[in-house]
Chains A and B, each alone.
Chain A
Amino acid sequence: MDSNASIESESYRSFSSRRSISSHHSKLSASNSIGEATCAEMGSKKVRHGSRGGADSEGFNLSQKEISDEDARFVYINDPARTNERFEYARNSIRTAKYSVITFLPRNLFEQFHRVAYIYFLVIAILNQLPQLAVFGRGASIMPLAFVLLVTAVKDAYEDYRRHRSDRIENNRLALVLVDGEFRDKKWKDIEVGEIIRVRANETLPCDMVLLSTSDPTGVAYIQTINLDGESNLKTRYAKQETLSKILENMSSGLIKCEKPNRNIYGFHANMEVDGKRLSLGASNIILRGCELKNTAWAVGVAVYAGQETKVMLNSSGAPSKRSKLEKRMNVEIILLSFFLITLCSIVSVLAAIWLRRHRDKLDNIPYYRRKDYSETDVENYNYYGWGWEIFFTFLMSVIVFQIMIPISLYISMELVRVGQAFFMIRDGGMYDEASNSRFQCRALNINEDLGQIKYVFSDKTGTLTENKMEFRSASIWGVDYSGGNPDLQSEQVAHEVEVDGKILRPKMAVRADPELLRLARGGRESEQGKHVYDFFLALASCNTIVPFVVDTEDPSVKLVDYQGESPDEQALVYAAAAYGFMLIERTSGHIVVDVQGEKQRFNVLGLHEFESDRKRMSVILGFPDKSVKVFVKGADTTMFSVIDRTSNNNVLQATEGHLLSYSSMGLRTLVVGMRELSNSEFDKWYIAFEAASTALMGRAALLRKVASSIESNLCVIGASAIEDKLQLGVPEAIESLRMADIKVWVLTGDKQETAISIGYSSRLLTSRMNQIIINSNSKELCRKSLEDAIIKAKKLSGPNVSSNMEGSSGAVTIPVGLIIDGTSLVYILDSELEELLFQLASHCSVVLCCRVAPLQKAGIVALVKKRTSDMTLAIGDGANDVSMIQCADVGIGISGQEGRQAVMASDFAMGQFRFLVPLLLVHGHWNYQRMGYMILYNFYRNAVFVLILFWYVLYTCFTLTTAINEWSSVLYSVIYTSVPTIVVGILDKDLSKRTLSKHPQLYGAGHRQEVYNSKHFWLTMVDTIWQSAAAFFIPLLAYRKSTVDGPSIGDLWTLAAVILVNLHLAMDIVSWTWVTHAAIWGSIVATVICVIVIDAIPILPGYWAIFHAAGTWVFWLCLLAIIVAALVPRLVVKFFHQYYCPSDIQIAREAEKYGRLRDHGTVEIEMNPILEPPRR
């Protein structure tokens, strides 16, 4: 059994109560109710490892009462008319498309205007429509917004068209529906709730239905839920015995009372009344839309949820959206820029007010103002609304003119850049996983750059660090350890074969076997030890929920036995049993067939208590051919030893315990197997109780649990099994890299402490040089004490002052400290004042290992760190138990591995292997951060330069917001003239090569230190902006003073100067020039020239032909040259000095990359082992 899972699900019960305490979770729920819902539902997933026999939904619904009539849906079987009489339940047609022809325009616009940026655009455009404020012409002011809206609308329309098309195809598929006593083809969209549907093998289910009968006489149906949760293994669903026989006749008498449609795909709660009998239905009785029927010739069911109300449709929602740290940071600067904008506007308004005041007597007939209109007989003010209003209008007009000070286009550019970055991350061949055939996935598109600033990595163990491919390694039977089976010799792998009906049956996977044990197993039950071996492997083969499938191979005489099941641990055990000659061949709900050393034996399965997280064990009651009845139990050691009869065989018990300890210290997952023979009276007693419990309508789960506990007692221990979960490829190297990048790795696992520590060693998380601090405490006071002691110890060990992060990165740590803490202690620490102590302690430790933690504790630990530091956290995991942690962390990564897809669904990024974390963070994360950080600053600069040029000119126009620059050029400036290069650079520029970045993980520190985007850079950039804009403005102003120059000519000069200036500024900062960058930069300048020429070739505009006249003079070109040189020289000087005399790591690495010096004189040695170096002071 999956001990990992079991422990995690245990605490799940406390999920809802605890959530309210943790501030983080309440935040989550406030911000995203969908995320919350998925979170709760993810948690339920684990229970499938536990009870299945119809008890699922009760186990989950906190209230175990009857469904009240108000909350219920009544489905009259085979009577859709009556079913839909009172309430019109949704038909089975689905609609994933968002819009129809009529609703497209309003709805699409409404959705687009959810972005603040667009609203800002719109408000400005509307302001501009007021005649008093008409700064730009109507067209010019609306054009950019209209353009963006149009492009997005076309994109949305196209996507929606495709959705319409697929909806249509989906809705018109055919299914067999019972009409007038026979099954006829009916389109999916016409299926109604209450109808009886027949599905054949390999068909997709059209709606959610309750199974009535199947081709299997016991009523089993196998389904594949790959479309639902991505799990490809087969799951079993059962039809109720009572409905099996009556497919066609009498069915209309049935009534199903079930819960209202909900999103929980692992729970279902209903009653069925057939022939006056009430049956309870659970999640194992329902098959869901989107699943496929497998290995079952046909199945018949009644539709209970259709169309939009099916669980799969209710679950189709995107990942929760997060906002990147950089973007949050950026908002501060945006606010600063807003203040700056308001300041500029205020300056203009005040100056305008002063001017108006001083000239108030002359305004009536100054030629260039002419307040009075003399054309009418009564002379009136013309276009003048009084002093106050004029100032107010001036203010608003200046907001319109200077609008791009707030770089709204930046938001759109950022989105485009992230899409581009995601494209390259997805396409990275280095992050493609061959085994699962999966690419990297970007599920959240707005936190790419956070990947460059990760400080804490929280990792799950099973399936994340390890492969979650279980392999049977050792067995301890009756106190004897069988750990032979040399792992190095492939030849020893045993594939036990049996011949049945002239066909050779062979298990699909071979297992390394211990020769001694093999000999014993083959020897039969004669010897004492042989008897125990027999019991042990029979227990392994029978005590599970694995379903064997016999699969054909290319060779007709050989067939493979494929064991399908939900727990990889169980699969491994069954394969092991098969290798030792106990091959499970057939399983129905009533019996199993096991081939024991070539002899087919049939055992009646009298009862099965499935795995449950409370008990952490499962049991099966087998009726032997010789009429004896035995109960086999297997489970986690902690719970097994409490139900074992300690009076007899104490030696065996002690030996087994010793073996368990040694197994788990090797990093193996252990399970204890026990058994007991039942006397007739005992069996009868149990049987009555079991029958009563499994047909109980109320509190069935609790009753079953009680029955199970009564039978699982006084067991005699047979032995223990050990399963190895192999480390994934490249994990130790990846962890080493992450540690060198000064990323703190915390491993959170549900495993036992010994297992966790041993995995810690093998993954190089823990090293022998590391000082371990272990905290296992059973009360709050003890926790406090051990934490305080540990802090003192850690401080002593980790050198004088390692409190700041900067210090830690420079390699001053003397002895690294690893903290190991278990879930019990965490119970007392989390959500109490001890959190602070734990955080202090953890900040002294380079590694933290938490074992025996529950899913919610995982989230609690992430929240603990997140609350106390501004550093970025990343959580990586593969199972449903990691979902809460993934959603809690700043960046959540799902491993698309063995344990289903819940983690992937909840994640922001998904990938196939843990080791991809290294290219993801160190390479792509680094690039994304560098690019995005630079792009934001550059966009601020770019727009501010332009605005300031406009502003300086306003000072020479009586503060009336005239722009020398053509209005179309002002509008196109941030749309066409300068936008493409930033986006291209934001997507493509690489400061360092992939190889350098992954070879020197320390370079990742640039993101931690926020080297690209910080206040200092912002202010420097702004000062530079002021200088550049002044140079661009005043050089032409002075060169053209007292000349005949007209507005449009000098305006064209300013336009070209600004565009060339900002593009060259960008060019100066580009690190790697590819043809794309060249094309973007020079292309933009050429495009600008073309646009300016085109605009000036329109005779109707005042600036007609201005560019040709201006460009025909030397002054024009000399001004342009002078502007560019004068504006850029200060920046070049500062940049050069900084790069040369205060080089950043990146700068040095870049030089080294170019001049190939990084490999010289053994520096690699120094770099590779920063932790081993003594402090250099």
Chain B
Amino acid sequence: MSSTTAPSSSVAAGSADASGARRNSKRPKYSRFTQQELPACKPILTPGWVISAFILVSIVFIPIGVAALFASRDVVEIVKRYDTDCIPLSERNDKVKYIQSPGNKTCTRNITVTKHMKKPIYVYYQLDNFYQNHRRYVKSRNDAQLRSNGSSDDVSGCSPEDYSNGLVIVPCGLIAWSLFNDTYNFSRNNQQLSVNKRGISWKSDREHKFGKNVYPRNFQNGTLIGGAHLDDSIPLSDQEDLIVWMRTAALPTFRKLYGKIEQDLQENDVIEVTLENNYNTYSFNGKKKLVLSTTSWLGGKNDFLGIAYLTVGGFCLFLAMAFTLVYLVKPRQLGDPSYLSWNRTPGCH
């Protein structure tokens, strides 16, 4: 490429140096770097390049989009909203009072499986309008305390859930305090469907983030109960619901893994869910949903990526064709000096 050719001046420089006329000459030493003549590749956006790039993009994107759409379609997902339904009709005008009052809040719902679901079937609870990413909330935790027994007195950042009756709370902070405490029991044809609640959290969290020798203390002892209680005899590293909950969600509508059903479900199976409706989302109009879902290589049911890929791929294909057309209709010779502004009458711009 033309950039690699050294101009004559630098050649002269070299020869002058060779003659060694002056020892203390300040002549800059010649190197391709200092003379800004490093070998360089100078790509230019030629029509050929651009059109092939767009075709390449569409060739890659359209199949991916199709595959993603298929993957998403393969996923069977059953969503059951229960926050309102699980409140007796008489109590529905003051749901907050109902949920705060003591007593058994068991509720039974039926779910019909729409399509064959292969194991493992993931059970999620979905909360809407719950800002787990709220600044006050997301900061209200102490990772050091969770990790090791030695720092169990470290409750900085946890207020207002740091001390209860003057004693340190473990795990402290709003996040732990508001641990989700609805429970689900599934049965099919009056036969219990077991839900595996082991391994629902990240292995890295269990092993390194939540201590094996850290036990809950003083938890949920205050005047205001936020959510679930924890068994004081189980170390935090085994409290998987807590671990899952404490991976705060990025968005205000989120799902959290509740467990896995390790059996296939047949189409038109009716699943009876016995749930304990304890968690208070009513005070902020949050919705609660129970989700049963299979999974694909792309995760859960979400058509967006497939559509996005198809759109982008299609658009690029269109652009490639449009460019080709325009190029054929009105080509321009690259580097034609007659286009230079001082060689032509004013036109473009």
- Which residues does A use to contact B, with CB under 8 Å? 359, 362, 365-370, 372-375, 382-383, 423-424, 426-430, 432, 434, 437-439, 806, 809-811, 956-958, 960-962, 964, 988, 990, 993-996, 1000, 1002, 1005, 1035, 1037-1047, 1049-1051, 1071-1076, 1099-1102, 1104-1105, 1108-1109, 1113-1115, 1118-1119, 1122, 1125-1126, 1129, 1132-1133, 1135-1136, 1139-1143, 1145, 1148-1158, 1160, 1163, 1166-1167, 1170, 1176-1177
Residues of A within 8 A of B345 (CB): 810, 1176-1177
Among listed B43-51, B190-198, B269-277, interface-contacting one: B43-51
CB distance from A879 to the nearest CB of B (A): 23
Residues of A close to B346: CB separation below 8 A: 806, 810
Contact A956 to B335, CB < 8 A, known contacts A367-B177, A367-B227: no
Check if B13 sits within 8 Å of A429, measured CB to CB. yes
- Determine how close the nearest CB of chain A comes to the CB of B295; give it in whole angstroms: 11
26 pairs across A/B with beta carbons < 8 Å?
A366-B283, A373-B159, A373-B160, A375-B222, A429-B13, A432-B28, A434-B16, A806-B346, A957-B131, A957-B134, A995-B7, A1039-B308, A1042-B255, A1043-B255, A1044-B249, A1044-B257, A1047-B138, A1074-B38, A1099-B147, A1100-B144, A1125-B57, A1125-B316, A1136-B45, A1149-B335, A1152-B334, A1166-B337
Minimal beta-carbon separation of A935 from chain B (angstroms): 16
**Neighbour of B3 across the interface among A810, A993, A1040, A1133, CB < 8 A:** A993
| CB–CB A369/B143 < 8 A | no
Taking a contact as CB atoms under 8 Å apart, the answer to whether A1157 and B335 are in contact is yes
Q: Name the segment of B29-37, B82-90, B102-110, B233-241 touching the other chain.
A: B29-37
Contact A369 B137 (CB under 8 A): yes
Nearest neighbor of B309 in chain A, beta-carbon distance: A1122
> Do B68 and A1153 touch across chains, with their CB atoms under 8 A apart?
no
Minimal Cβ-Cβ distance residue in B for A1153? B2
Say whether B2 contacts A1115, CB under 8 Å.
no
A-chain residues with CB within 8 Å of residue B126 when the two chains form the complex? 1042
Contacts of B309 in A (CB 8 A): 1118, 1122
| A1125/B254 in contact, CB under 8 A | no
A1003 vs B291: C-alpha distance when bound (angstroms): 65
Nearest CB of A to B36, in Å: 6
Q: B208: CB under 8 A from chain A?
A: yes
Determine which of A369, A806, A995 lies in contact with B2 in the assembled complex, contact meaning CB atoms within 8 Å: A995
- Pairwise interchain contact B7-A430, C-beta atoms closer than 8 A: yes
Q: Does B18 contact A (CB under 8 A)?
A: no
Q: Does the CB pair B337–A1163 fall under 8 Å? A: yes
Bound form: Cα–Cα A427–B141 in Å: 57
Q: Is B5 an interface residue (CB 8 A)?
A: yes
Query: Are A957 and B135 interface neighbours, CB within 8 A?
Result: yes
The answer on a CB contact under 8 Å between B204 and A367 is no
> Known contacts A367-B137, A383-B136, A962-B135: does B68 contact A1118 (CB below 8 Å)?
yes
Select A1113's contact among B25, B202, B299, beta carbons within 8 Å: B299
A1154 to B251 Cα, complex, angstroms: 50
Residues of A contacting B174 in the complex (Cβ-Cβ under 8 angstroms): 367-368, 370
Task: Mark interface residues in B312-349 (1 if CB within 8 Å of A CB, else 0).
Answer: 10011001000100000010111111111111011011
Contact status A429-B10, CB under 8 Å:
yes
B178 within 8 A of A: yes
B interface with A by C-beta (< 8 Å) = 1-3, 5, 7, 9-10, 13, 16, 22, 24-30, 34-45, 47, 50, 53, 57, 61, 64, 68, 124, 126, 130-138, 141, 143-144, 147, 159-165, 174, 177-178, 202, 204-205, 208-209, 222-224, 226-227, 247-257, 280, 283-284, 297-300, 302, 304-305, 308-309, 312, 315-316, 319, 323, 330, 332-343, 345-346, 348-349
Report yes or no: B208 in contact with A1099, Cβ–Cβ below 8 A: yes
Which residue of chain B is the closest to A1143 with respect to CB atoms?
Answer: B339
CB atoms of A368 and B42 under 8 A apart: no
CB of A4 to closest CB in B, whole Å? 29
Q: How far is the CB of A847 from chain B (nearest CB, A)?
A: 19
For B255, list chain A residues within 8 Å (CB). 1042-1044
Which residues of B have CB within 8 Å of A1074? 38-40
Q: Contact at A1040–B335, with CB atoms within 8 Å? A: no
Nearest A residue to B313, CB-CB? A1125
Chain A's closest residue to B10 (CB) is A429
Residue in B26, B297, B316 whose beta carbon sits within 8 Å of that of A1114 in the complex: B297
Question: A996 to chain B: closest CB distance in Å?
Answer: 8
Q: Which of B35, B36, B280, B330 has the most CB of A within 10 A?
A: B36
When distances are taken between beta carbons in the complex, the residues of chain B under 8 Å from A372 are 160
A369–B134 touching, CB < 8 Å: yes
Are B298 and A1114 touching (Cβ within 8 A)? Answer: yes
By beta carbon, the residue of chain A nearest B331 is A1140
Q: Give the residue among A359, A429, A432 with the most B Cβ atoms within 10 A.
A: A429
* CB–CB A1102/B143 < 8 A: yes
Docked Cα-Cα span, A322 to B333, in Å, equals 44
Kindly state the separation between the CA atoms of A424 and B34 in the bound complex, as whole angstroms.
6
Distance in Å: Cβ of B239 to nearest Cβ of chain A: 17
Instruction: Take A368-B131, A1046-B250 as given contacts and tell me if A429 and B30 are in contact as well, using a CB distance cutoff of 8 Å.
Output: yes
Q: With CB as the reference atom, state the residue of chain B lying closest to A923.
A: B36
**Bound Cα distance A375, B3 (Å):** 73
* Chain B residues with CB under 8 A of A432: 13, 26-28
Measured CA separation A525–B44 after assembly (Å): 79
* Residue contact B3 to A1042, C-beta cutoff 8 Å: no
Q: How close is A799's CB to chain B, nearest CB, in angstroms?
A: 15
Shortest Cβ distance from A438 into B: residue: B26
What are the residues of chain B within 8 A of A437 when measuring CB–CB?
22, 24-27
**B312 engages A1002 (CB within 8 Å):** no
A1163 — which chain B residues lie within 8 A by C-beta?
337-338, 343
Chain A residues with Cβ under 8 A from B202's Cβ? 1105, 1109
Residue in chain B with minimal CB distance to A424: B36
Which A-B residue pairs are the 4 nearest by beta carbons?
A1151-B335, A1152-B335, A367-B178, A373-B160
B223–A1050 CB distance below 8 A: no
Q: Is the CB of A1073 within 8 A of B131?
A: no
The reply to whether A1158 and B335 form a contact with Cβ atoms under 8 Å apart is yes
Which residue on chain A has the smallest CB distance to residue B297?
A1114
Q: Which residues of B contact A1005 (CB under 8 A)?
A: 341-342
Given A1125-B316, A1153-B335, A1177-B345, 6 additional A-B pairs, CB 8 A: A365-B224, A962-B134, A1046-B247, A1136-B50, A1141-B332, A1150-B44
Closest residue on chain A to residue B135 by CB atoms: A960
State in angstroms the CA–CA spacing of A1099 and B143 once bound together: 8
User: Smallest Cβ distance from B21 to chain A, in angstroms?
Assistant: 9
Cross-chain contact A962 with B133 (CB below 8 angstroms): yes
Q: Are B204 and A1076 in contact (CB under 8 A)?
A: no
Please judge, given known A-B contacts A956-B252, A995-B2, whether A427 and B28 are in contact too, CB under 8 Å: yes
User: B160 to A1152, Cβ gap below 8 A?
Assistant: no
Does B42 lie within 8 Å of A1150, measured CB to CB?
Answer: yes
Contact, CB under 8 Å: B349 / A1142: yes
Q: How far is the CB of B287 from chain A (nearest CB, A)?
A: 12
Q: How far is the CA of A1166 from the CA of B209 in the complex (A)?
A: 74
